[in-house]
Structure 1
């Protein structure tokens, strides 16, 4: 063998090592991501128009362990009684005072904007009704107050679902990945 042949073999061997390394790293990243992310099917219209029935989302399970949740996050919650999981928006944190008056949300007596409801509020205002009925509640320690974005058609902390604890929360919505043509981060 001449020097040129040896050099070509070394280049080919190096190329395969790089390709296999890239494949290994990609597989490792995929495995780690799947350990922290879980696909979830949205069932029903309680989060419309933010999330639609039959959309598929990725749930960030790590959020539970890396800094908690923020008001406004979209959560996936497992209900032990029914064995089902639901998607709802986090409104009140443990210890919060949550009040809805004249379709305006107040947390700890401070006015809170809900930009994700703007479109729906405009529609129901034309009908002369409120999107969200008046209520006032104190969120107990260790519990969270959640509501669906489709306030007129959502079972949530106001009406039967109760307030989930941190152990009931699977994670936060990370990405709508299906249908592919509507891929987005919902907020």
Structure 2
């Protein structure tokens, strides 16, 4: 009986160890608003790869990230936001007449909810080690266009959204609209 208990304790310890390891690498999250429509709905269950930008790796244009924003929750903690990386460090962003321009070139917005962007921002240069991030539902998203969020420092990024588990009809990896998949 002593060996059976020891075996049982070892199995539980290994399972807990594996679970802790997974939690350090993958973070589950649930979408709680509509700023990423039409690509992410309220209630989508996503997996965030926490090590995506470690070891010198950096976000790429089109990546969907989770980050700690300057906004706060009701209990005073930093509000986590889900947004898409639009501008890289050093990029010059101009938003005018419903269009987004990056380094003088019009940015395609075919993946966005309304295919246009409200607000005006001219000649904004993304700071070093920061990213300009926007929601896909540009008409309602609070994102890097606004001082309350601003550009996203790399050290505030929790990870990259890599997989949608729910709804099951949309299960799969997350595609980057700026890359051929």
TM-score, normalised by the number of residues in structure 2: 0.74
Match of 1:133 in 2: 119
Q: Name the SS for the 1:116 alignment partner.
A: coil
Match of 1:156 in 2: 143
Match of 2:61 in 1: 71
**Which structure: larger Rg?**
1
Q: 1:171 aligns with which of 140, 159, 172?
A: 159
Q: 1:112 aligns with which of 96, 107, 110?
A: 107
Gaps of 5+ in 2: 1-14, 73-77, 176-181
Tell me how far 1:142 sits from its aligned partner: 2.3
Runs of 4+ more than 6 Å apart? 26-31
- Is this contact kept in 2: 1:50–1:186, CA < 8 A? no
The number of residue pairs the alignment matches comes to: 154
RMSD: 2.5
Q: Name the SS for the 2:111 alignment partner.
A: helix
Q: CA distance change for structure 1 residues 31 and 168 in 2, over 3 Å: closer, same or farther?
A: same
Tell me how far 1:64 sits from its aligned partner: 1.2
Tell me how far 1:32 sits from its aligned partner: 4.9
Q: Larger helix proportion, structure 1 or 2?
A: 1
Q: Give the Cα separation in 2 of the matches to 1:111 and 1:43.
A: 30
Q: CA distance change for structure 1 residues 140 and 45 in 2, over 3 Å: closer, same or farther?
A: same
Deviations 1:62-101 (A, max 9, x none): 1111521101110101125512201011111111101123
Gaps of 5+ in 1: 1-25, 122-129
Q: Give the Cα separation in 2 of the matches to 1:185 and 1:115.
A: 19
Match of 1:53 in 2: 42
